[in-house]
Amino acid sequence: MSGLRGFARRAAWSAAVRLGLQVYEPSPENLPRLDEFTEYVEDPRPVSDDRATTATDDLPDLTLLPDALGEVLEIDRFRGLRVLEVGPKYGVHARWIDEKLEPSELVFSDFASDQHLHAKWVDGLHSKHRFVYGDLRDARELLELEPFDLVFFLGVLYHSIHHLPLLGMLNRVTKAGGSMLLETTVDSRPDALVRLRWHPDTGKAKGVPSIQAVRLELAWTGWRKVRRFTGYRPGTSEALFLCEKTDELRKGADLADVVTPHRPR
């Protein structure tokens, strides 16, 4: 059977060449190569957020508790720098950033439909701040601003199926060597996959990545140094990462140069 399969494969390749088609060996990303080109650390430090669910009576979807932010971020390192928060919603993390990090400027990226939520807390901020409304993938106004030192991307990624454009845009607006705190729901399976979910009532789709898929997506978009905090809500489908920008994405490119092309030139 193995010989027959090999014969059929060679025959198909030979026929393809005679028909003028290009023949190539796909070279998919694999975990050994991921380990070779990235730095991935599983940090077991205790994180004081072991909730079974993010839903509470007063806040229906709070990812990381604000008090735990200081356990995974070096406050002195990031104090007084430029900070971007994606999807501030109820302002819980925004108020912590404003009080503890005292950023030189705090910028929020969100959809205009959430302005009514922002109005409830934004007047209490002391730091210089502004909002950039619209789809993050096309938020050109962010590209016109001075790059950020720290990005908060909490509980947003899995709400979209456009993971690479989102992470790529955050790479472009972050300084080289800058950091991103990423929290997302993950799929528990061990291989690199993104589980697609669709809600027929709203027509909205979600993409829930596995841990290995998150690692690939980050590496592909220029975040090749990653620390995962395994003490964050163990036993749940939530994961927390601190990422460092390692690569600049070329103008017009979707992925970092370190990624092997699927079809060689």
pLDDT (tens digit, 9 = 90+) per residue, 103-113?
A: 999 999 999 99
pLDDT tens-digit map of 136-174: 999 899 999 999 999 999 999 999 999 999 999 999 999
* Beta bridge mates, 183: 154, 240
Q: Which of 126, 117, 130, 132 is nearest to 170 (CA)?
A: 132
Residue type, 168: G
Q: Can you tell me the distance from the alpha carbon of 184 to that of 3, in angstroms, rounded to the nearest whole number? A: 46
Helix, strand, coil % over all residues of the chain, rounded to 5: 30, 25, 45
Q: What is this structure's pTM?
A: 0.87
φ, ψ (nearest 5 deg) of residue 129: -150, 160
Q: Which of 193, 121, 182, 194 is nearest to 156 (CA)?
A: 182
| CATH 3.10.20.740 at 28-244, yes or no | no
pLDDT tens-digit map of 166-225: 999 999 999 999 999 999 999 999 988 999 999 888 888 999 999 999 999 999 999 999
